[in-house]
Amino acid sequence: MNKKKNLLRNDAFQSLIASVICILLGLLVGYIVLLVINPEGAGQAILAVLKNYLNFPSAPAAKKYLGGTLVSFAPLLMCSLSVLFAYKVGFFNIGAAGQYVVGAAAALYTAIAFEWNWVFCTIAAIVVGLIWGAIVGLFKAYCSVNEVISGIMLNWIGLYLTNSLLSQVKDPLTPYTYNLKDVNPSAKIPSLGLEQLFSNNQYVTIAIPMAVVMAILIWIMLDKSRIGYELKATGFNKNAAKYSGMNEKKNTIMTLAISGGLAGLGAAFQYLSGIEQWATTQTSVPGMGFNGIAAAFLGGLSPIGTIFSSYFIQHITNGGGYVDKMVYCSQISDFISAIIIYMCGFVFFFKLWLNRMLDKRDEKKGGNN
Amino acid sequence: MTILIQYTLIFAAILILVALGGCYSEHSGVINIGLEGIMVMGAFGGALVMQALDPGIPGILMIFVVMLVAIVFGMIYSLLLAVAAIHFRADQTLVGTAMNMLGTAASTVAVRAINSADDPNNVSSALSYGAQKAAFTKMIGSYELNLFIPITVVILIIANVVLYKTKFGLRLMACGEHPQAADSVGINVFVMRYAGVLISGALGGLGGIVYITTGVSEWKFEYGVAGFGFLALAVMIFGQWKPTRIALAALLFGLFRALSNVYIAFDVLTNLNIPGYMYNMMPYVVSLIVLAFTSKTSRAPKAEGIPYDKGLR
């Protein structure tokens, strides 16, 4: 009994329960919507979303599509780390979406126009993302501009700049940028044999393990290092941090710059894997950064938890492609993701309520003894 | 030239509607990042009923019904924010972001389901309302007046009067400035915040339907409303949360937006050789710069974004 109480009191465990409840509610609402659209195939459709690559009966095909999910999992993980890192220091980096966009511009432009090697393209993406994040930080530190608002503005500025820059390196016949495979194969992140594990899925690269390593590094940085401690202290109480000798302006800019760099790296992972070309006619900011917000909160704002939540979000996003297109549409997984992130808003209240219940129970027990 | 004025005025009208919505919500103390999603939902409801109505019915009835439905859809959708932010102390930015994602996803799923229920081969996410839309405009000489422009002017005046000259408006603003003080003199902060969010839902929903019926006769819901809700947010801040200034800011931003659509028609502008994306980008750049200069002395409601906790009184 005592043991169980301790487990329920554990914050990490509470986060886990909360996330599982969010997911279940998201799936339930998604299922109800499917039922309303067409009751006959609803069960099958929600299973198709959940099964994703397992929809393929043959093992090699399933492995190949698992690889496909993992390819986009890597950038999503980076975006959610970007959101998480800033949030731990007290900033809501909604600008991750735009930092991802300009990262894509840098990666693809240097790859196609300058024919750089993938290492330099990746660095370019990080640096540009870093700068885009630092702008938010500068505005915050020196002009007290709310980071959410400047982030939103920079998302759109980034989108229009990226569209116009990448128009110079696009295929004249389509709105898409050139395929890296045709113009500069050296810009593609290498796979070092990793693709063989996934039935030679050509898009599987070392970006996937690199993203996981980054998650662990962020965890170490935030939880085990002096700088992480300082940053978190700044987020917890800006004035207290200032009076104990920490440079809060510098910390603000640095946090948002690192956060932007992570999102930029995410873009390099996506676009330098070759799985996607940039459509220069895009009229809205790609959802990757916003999904990053979902994954960060679903992962209980822990870098390690984020690895699992990012995978889950990407898993159902890809799974949406397998519903019966004649009856339903693939956006059902966006719908489920959106419900899940909405539910994440209630986690704080849920924990409060859970702790209050536990307190009450303990009080009762105390009285009986 | 007329076309530029036409576009500027209608874009400004939409921005005024949605930004006023944001203004009411923020004055009550709730940040509404979800305006984009609310617009999509209002547009969805409005377009749905437009498609169903007979184009032959009197214009005034058409406008009334479509407005009503869009407003109701926006209000119901904004309840998602109200409940989470007011009762459950949720992070308002997080909930707003979720609502933006949900608006586009839910309307796409719904429109596609409706389309393919009518015709199994129709898997598009578009609703069309070309004939019905005629009721929204009136020709005055060679100038095509969109009736939502005068409607917006009326709403703007009402919004301004309500906010500054009525008990309700002043109480609403008190809840965004210092909810504890408001509560101590007997104002129900929760009710006021609900009112603020619901008004933003109504105006956001209305703005949504006006937006998608401007210039085009069908709308693909996959595209959401292409960032217009965020632009309205910029207008609101540029207007320093004041209805009259919001109107001026909306005219300026509306002009930029209109230029991006029609600049090719002007020799002077094409000769300047400014690429089209610059016009799209300009409102965001301008508001960022203005924010940099004004944020330190910003007139933002002081308690916005902070859940009201009676225990802190």
Tokens 């921005």 belong to: B15
Domain ranges for chain B, please list them.
2-226
Asked if residue A83 lies in contact with residue A96, where contact means CB atoms within 8 angstroms, the answer is yes
Which of A160, A283, A329 is nearest residue B112 as measured by Cβ atoms? A329
pTM of the complete model: 0.90
Domain ranges for chain A, please list them.
2-368
Q: Is the confidence at residue B24, as pLDDT, over 60?
A: yes
Closest residue in B to A158 (Cα–Cα): B281
Determine the distance in angstroms separating the CA of A249 from the nearest CA of chain B, rounded to an integer. 15
Q: Which residues of A touch B227 (CB under 8 A)?
A: 156, 283-285
Closest residue in B to A38 (Cα–Cα): B113
pLDDT band of B313, cuts 50, 70, 90: low
pLDDT band of B72, cuts 50, 70, 90: very high
Backbone dihedral angles phi then psi of residue A6, each to the nearest 5 degrees = -60, -40
Average pLDDT for B274-287: 83
How high is the pLDDT of residue A1?
A: 45
Which of B94, B285, B292 is nearest residue A157 as measured by Cβ atoms? B285
* ipTM score of complex: 0.89
How high is the pLDDT of residue A4?
A: 56
How far is residue B100's CA from residue A52's CA, in Å, rounded to a whole number?
Answer: 25
How high is the pLDDT of residue A96?
A: 96
Which of A150, A160, A338 is nearest residue B101 as measured by Cβ atoms? A338
- Residue B160: burial class (beta carbons within 10 Å; 0-12, 13-18, 19+): middle
How far is residue A98's CA from residue B149's CA, in Å, rounded to a whole number?
Answer: 33
Record: contact A156-B298, CB cut-off 8 A: no
Backbone dihedral angles phi then psi of residue A176, each to the nearest 5 degrees = -95, 155
How far is residue A266's CA from residue A70's CA, in Å, rounded to a whole number?
Answer: 13
Q: Which residues of B touch A249 (CB under 8 A)?
A: none
Task: Identify which of B278, B221, B277 has the alpha carbon closest to the alpha carbon of residue B105.
Answer: B221
A63-81: b (≥16 Cβ within 10 Å) or e: bbbbbbbbbbbbbbbbbbb
Record: contact B95-A342, CB cut-off 8 A: yes
Token digits for B153? 């002017």
Q: Which residues of B touch A293 (CB under 8 A)?
A: 94, 97
Name the helix (H) or strand (E) containing A53: none
What is the sign of the dihedral through the CA atoms of B84, B87, B89 and B92?
positive
Average pLDDT for B171-181: 92
Asked if residue A87 lies in contact with residue A259, where contact means CB atoms within 8 angstroms, the answer is no
Record: contact B277-A144, CB cut-off 8 A: no
Record: contact A342-B291, CB cut-off 8 A: no
Q: Which residues of A touch B281 (CB under 8 A)?
A: 156-157, 160-161
Domain A2-368 has CATH 1.10.3470: yes
How high is the pLDDT of residue A367?
A: 56
- % of chain B beyond a pLDDT of 90: 50
* pLDDT tens per residue across span A20-69: 999 999 999 999 998 988 888 888 888 888 888 888 888 888 888 898 89
Which of the 8 DSSP states describes residue A279?
B
Q: Is the confidence at residue B198, as pLDDT, over 50?
A: yes
Task: Name the residue with higher pLDDT: B38 or A365.
Answer: B38
Task: Choose, out of A38, A91, A145, A168, the residue to mutate when testing the contact with B (most B CBs < 10 Å).
Answer: A145
Closest residue in B to A97 (Cα–Cα): B97
DSSP state letters, B247-312: HHHHHHHHHHHHHHHHGGG-HHHHHHT--HHHHHHHHHHHHHHHHHHHGGG----TTTTPPP-GGG
What residues in chain A have per-residue pLDDT under 70?
Answer: 1-6, 366-369
Determine the distance in angstroms separating the CA of A346 from the nearest CA of chain B, rounded to an integer. 6
Q: Which residues of B touch A160 (CB under 8 A)?
A: 277-278, 280-281
pLDDT band of B175, cuts 50, 70, 90: very high
Average pLDDT for B233-239: 87
- Residue A347: burial class (beta carbons within 10 Å; 0-12, 13-18, 19+): buried
Residues 6+ apart with CB under 8 A from B16: B152, B155, B156, B235, B246, B247, B250
Backbone dihedral angles phi then psi of residue B56, each to the nearest 5 degrees = -80, -10
Which of the 8 DSSP states describes residue A189?
P
Interface size A-B, in CB pairs within 8 Å, comes to: 157
* pLDDT tens per residue across span A172-184: 888 999 988 888 8
Record: contact A156-B227, CB cut-off 8 A: yes
Closest residue in B to A332 (Cα–Cα): B109
pLDDT band of B217, cuts 50, 70, 90: confident
How far is residue A342's CA from residue A23's CA, in Å, rounded to a whole number?
Answer: 11
Token digits for A90? 């007290």
Record: contact B230-A152, CB cut-off 8 A: yes
Q: Which residues of B touch A94 (CB under 8 A)?
A: 33, 93, 97
Which of B90, B99, B123 is nearest residue A348 as measured by Cβ atoms? B90
Reported residue count of chain B is 313
How high is the pLDDT of residue A9?
A: 78
Lowest mean pLDDT among A197-206, A249-258, B105-114, B300-309: B300-309
Closest residue in A to B229 (Cα–Cα): A152
